[in-house]
Amino acid sequence: MRFTSLDSGVARSGLSLVVLLPLLLGSKGGCGSKENNEKLASPVQAVATLLEGADKTVTVDLVLISTAVSPNQFIATATNARLRVPSGVEVPLAQTSPGHYTASSLTSADLAYQGGQTYRFNFDLVDEALAKQVSGGSFVAVLAVPDDVVTAALSKPPAFAGDTAVLAWMPAARSGIINVTNASGQTTYSTFDFSTPAFDGAKWARLQTGGSFELGVDVFPVAGTYTASVCVVSKVSDFDKSLSVDLGVLSGFLAGRCPAPLSITVGN
């Protein structure tokens, strides 16, 4: 297991992140390096989001999945999961459901979103069955969050039930995490679904880029009122040199802000 030197160049402007955010972890290597080969072999996939809502509420969700087993499993055995905020305080991440380690500014007064500042994720993992060769150490990720002013709008509303719609956001260079719910609160579209641990590259393919996205005909199947949320984030993933070689190639970290949700009325 490798440990990151926290005084090594962690200052970066913004994120190249699925957030995911610039993570400065472990040794780095070029394409085809031993480090990249180890990353391919690592079964520990970590996906983290650090998001600020329109009401300034900050939420953190660190999802840990093992791809060493089939079917994939949530890793519910991590310990000391925490997030170090710019003030130096370490905010504990509590496991609120299997494999999900979370925190909210509603219950953690020290958790705040400070654009352009660095945050550090830590967790320990001693679970040879799920972590294989990378078990037995502490995982560290240092990241800088973006300081963008973000907006979202419905550029093409659905004209009737079963019609398409187009969401747009700024800055267009950032990625969009989209979620749509109906009047009953049921999700009709979501970029990510981590209610189950099944995990492959298809999840990342659903992360929207380019500043706009067309929602399909099945998102608004009946007339009624829907709510769409768009979080505008930066991402770091795959073989990015800022990612720990001890985390699997599907790992990634996202950070950004979420403008006010959009209310969409769909007629017959």
C-alpha distance from residue 75 to each of 39, 44, 126, 265 (Å): 18, 8, 11, 40
Rounded-to-integer distance, Cα 214 and Cα 180, Å: 12
**Mean per-residue pLDDT for 197-201?**
82
Query: What would you measure as the largest C-alpha separation in the chain, in angstroms?
Result: 59
CA 5 to chain centre: 24
Q: Say whether pLDDT at 18 is over 50.
A: no
Q: Which helix (H) or strand (E) holds 61?
A: strand 58-66
Half-sphere exposure (Cβ direction) of 105: Cα atoms closer than 13 Å: 15
pLDDT at position 250: 83
**Mean per-residue pLDDT for 97-103?**
97
pLDDT in tens, 34-92: 777 777 777 888 999 999 999 999 999 999 999 888 899 999 999 999 999 999 999 99
Rounded-to-integer distance, Cα 22 and Cα 16, Å: 6
pLDDT in tens, 143-186: 779 999 999 999 999 999 999 999 999 999 999 999 999 999 99
Q: Say whether pLDDT at 255 is over 90.
A: yes
Q: Say whether pLDDT at 94 is over 70.
A: yes
C-alpha distance from residue 263 to each of 118, 176, 212 (Å): 33, 17, 17
Find, among 239, 209, 233, 250, the residue nearest to 66 by Cα. 250
Q: What's the CA angle centered on 100, arms 52 and 229, to 5 degrees?
A: 35
Q: Which domains are present in the chain?
A: 34-148+233-257 (no CATH), 151-232+260-266 (2.60.40)
Torsion sign, CA atoms 39, 45, 51, 57: negative
Q: Report residue 189's pLDDT band, with 50, 70 and 90 as the boundaries.
A: very high
Q: Are 101 and 93 in contact (CB under 8 A)?
A: yes
Q: What's the CA angle centered on 114, arms 109 and 115, to 5 degrees?
A: 160
